[in-house]
Amino acid sequence: MFSFVLLWSCKQNRKAAINTVKQPNIVVIYLDDLGYGDVSAYGATALQTPNIDALAKGGIKFTNGYATSATCTPSRYALLTGVYPWRNKSAKILSGSAPLIISETQQTLPKLLQKQGYQTGVVGKWHLGLGKGNVNWNEKISPGPNEVGFDDAYILAATQDRVPTVYIEDGHVVGLDKNDPIQVNYKKNFEGEPTAISNPELVTMKWHHGHNNSIVNGIPRIGYMKGGEAAKWTDTKMADYFLAKAQDYIKTNKEKPFFLYYAMQQPHVPRTPHPRFVGKSGMGPRGDVILEADWCIGELMKTLKEAEILENTFIIFSSDNGPVLNDGYDDDAVEKLGKHNPKGGLRGGKYSLLEAGTRVPFITYWKGTIQPAVSDAIVCQIDLLSSLATLTGTSELATDSKDLLSTFLGKSDKGRAHLIIEAQSKTALRSGDWLMIPPYKGNRYNKKVGIDLGVIPEFQLYHLKEDIGQLNNLATSNPKKLDEMIEIFESLRGQRIQKI
């Protein structure tokens, strides 16, 4: 009887505790193509990012933090669903007119948080598809973020270099003039519409590869677009536009627990810093937009502070994939790089199975709750779903997402045992200090972007702790470890490695 009473009273106390503890706001700050070495807290010296550094200094700086993938769409898919992108054949770089690849019945991070009483919002780059195919951009565009868990959505459809070059708010193109309807086509141009090929004199940012279709604001894009003149964004004002949306979102929702997914467009191409930042890095537009992004983060932090909610806000900072210099425009990224190393000593880059493709800056910050530390635990963005479920008082039996809340809060240094990383539909295994890439057919180098993709017809095995630059392939000298890695990989992937 006594023990029953004790148990009962304990339960009551716990319930009371849960009810009185205010659920923290959650802010995910997600950059686009920011490399492991692009932040001064991660070793950059030619570039200073004081606001990101402040998060790293006051929070947990992860040295083994990963995006699931070396490109945008699959990484974002994993972040928002907790499911490995290689389980979904559509989770590849999407065009601006691709249908939504998250099913409306699927579990998502924002849906989970909605159930826990959160107001949920996305501001910035979406790139997970919209509609069901053949989108009519002049009516309500659906399904989209609102249908997969976001109460509020202020987005751009795909990427800054893809049409349609308009902002979309809760399914409606912002500032659309009904008399000038928008049409989008990714196969064929609209008659009489200028392109970078037909009218090179209209181009102010030179294209290097791809990016020679419709011209908007002098910048040639991927895909063709007609109409919607009044709704077209101004590229140089994009950072300010999204920052203002994110700040308004915080101010409007400061009384509720809210989840804000702030998906910034920098330093993805086309790199269009606001004039305030032009020339500030000495590295050309790529460096300038990193400084611009850092400034935006500082402003966002000020807003949280002014709203007096900073100590009740859990912040996660990361990037969707690794760095690239020339991603299709001649914008001096290569020429003006100087001593800066966006890869921070890693090998590969965006699109690559080698470390620089997926290992990214990864910081968790919660003023007053997280004690500053550096963690070498292996963590991945895919783990946020299960971890934030636990944080907000529920649990999630997600397929691939691991509950690493204690690690994210700095209470444990234990990360994942294994992680499957992906680059352009090819996968590899990180396990402990080891990385194994199966043999693959295909080009080893993407010559246009100047990146080693890590694709060779033999097994690769690297001991990352001793060889962070992946210079020594130990596949032949350590057959025992290789076999172990093959076994884990095949069991996680659910398929045998194809021998070449």
CA 127 – CA 194 distance, rounded (Å) = 25
Contact pick of 161, 288, 294, 452 for ligand NG6 (by CB under 6 A)? 161
The DSSP code sequence of 372-389 is PEEEEEEEEGGGHHHHHH
CA 129 – CA 486 distance, rounded (Å) = 34
Question: Binding of ligand NG6 at residue 159 (CB under 6 A)?
Answer: yes
Shortest CB 282 distance to ligand NG6, Å: 24
Which CB atom, from 76 or from 232, has the smaller least distance to Ca ion? 76
475 to 253, 314, 354: CA distances (angstroms): 53, 41, 15
Shortest CB 430 distance to ligand NG6, Å: 21
Question: Binding of ligand NG6 at residue 268 (CB under 6 A)?
Answer: yes
CA 81 – CA 101 distance, rounded (Å) = 11
245 binds, among ligand NG6, Ca ion, none (CB under 5 to 8 A by kind): none
Question: Binding of Ca ion at residue 431 (CB under 5 A)?
Answer: no
Contact pick of 24, 26, 32, 221 for Ca ion (by CB under 5 A)? 32
Residue ranges in 71-90 that form contacts with Ca ion under rule CB under 5 A? 72
Task: Pick the piece of the chain touching Ca ion (CB under 5 A) from 32-40, 224-232, 429-437, 448-456.
Answer: 32-40
Question: Binding of ligand NG6 at residue 269 (CB under 6 A)?
Answer: yes
The DSSP code sequence of 238-298 is HHHHHHHHHHHHHHHTTTS-EEEEEE--TTSSS----GGGTTSSSS-HHHHHHHHHHHHHH
Shortest CB 69 distance to ligand NG6, Å: 8
Tokens 């979406």, located at residue: 126
CA 366 – CA 479 distance, rounded (Å) = 44
Residue 68 in contact with residue 426, Cβ under 8 Å?
A: no
Residue 401 in contact with residue 385, Cβ under 8 Å?
A: yes
Q: Which two tokens stand for residue 489?
A: 């990989």
Shortest CB 185 distance to ligand NG6, Å: 16
210 binds, among ligand NG6, Ca ion, none (CB under 5 to 8 A by kind): ligand NG6
Residue ranges in 89-128 that form contacts with ligand NG6 under rule CB under 6 A? 93, 127
Residue of 21, 3, 36 lying closest to 349 (CA atoms): 36
493 binds, among ligand NG6, Ca ion, none (CB under 5 to 8 A by kind): none
Question: Binding of Ca ion at residue 320 (CB under 5 A)?
Answer: yes
Residues that bind ligand NG6 in the complex, under the rule CB under 6 A? 32-33, 71-72, 93, 127, 159, 161, 209-211, 222, 268-269, 321, 327-328
Residues that bind Ca ion in the complex, under the rule CB under 5 A? 32-33, 72, 320-321
